[in-house]
Structure 1
């Protein structure tokens, strides 16, 4: 029997689907990181790596949930994006990506700020032992509660 290779269209479609599933969260996280690089630049390469990976991971984990929340709150936005994509001769799925990508970017932004803040807070306490760091953390929480 002669073996046949899968059709090029099938292979390309599967590759495109994988890029849509896995590529969008990574690209959204990278875009979020690029945006916040403008405002809070990391001081070391290690800090940059930690913040970059946490932003991409947060975008990939919480981004889909944020997209689902936006879809349940405003479904007509996704329908409009699909219609505009079809109007310009594109795939309707790309319309969903036009809405989902910015939402996923926004979902990754808090990680950049939080990780940066924690790293800088711990860096200021570099010479302290764990007990002193915990004491400082308790004082920060007390001050924050007092402000409310």
Structure 2
């Protein structure tokens, strides 16, 4: 019987470790679907996977940075969960989940913008695309 308990505990730990970034990325994707809907299934897949990956990669770093800058926020979240009768360690998820969602949002916009920019240049060769990119950079520099 201890093997079953160990297996369930390990499974629960794996869900907490890997499930939170995936769920945060999915939530970020769902939020931005409201604003910039993908045009094709391929674009939706690329943007969805990039949002989840960005959330999973950069989200923990953002959470660590927030924790080092504002540790009392995490202590407060632990207290709120404890007052609700939950495990205080789950309070970290109250803060980490929204932060991880926010780290996934830029990928959605950047990948979507890049796909649409490249789609407008579909019939051009690589030299023409580089030339167009240089013009965009030049225009952006002159605007500053």
TM-score between the two structures when normalised by the length of structure 1? 0.95
Give the length in aligned residue pairs. Answer: 144
1:47 — aligned with what?
43
RMSD: 0.9
Gaps of 5+ in 2: none
Q: What are the Cα deviations for residues 48-77 of structure 1, in whole angstroms up to 9, with x where unaligned? A: 000000000000000000000110111000
TM-score between the two structures when normalised by the length of structure 2? 0.97
1:139 aligns with 2:141: no
1:114 — aligned with what?
110
Residues in 2 aligned to 1:9 and 1:124: alpha-carbon distance in whole angstroms: 56
1:85 deviates by 0.5
Q: Which 4+ runs in 1 deviate beyond 4 A?
A: none
Residues in 1 aligned to 2:5 and 2:88: alpha-carbon distance in whole angstroms: 18
Bigger Cα displacement from structure 2, 21-30 vs 10-19: 10-19
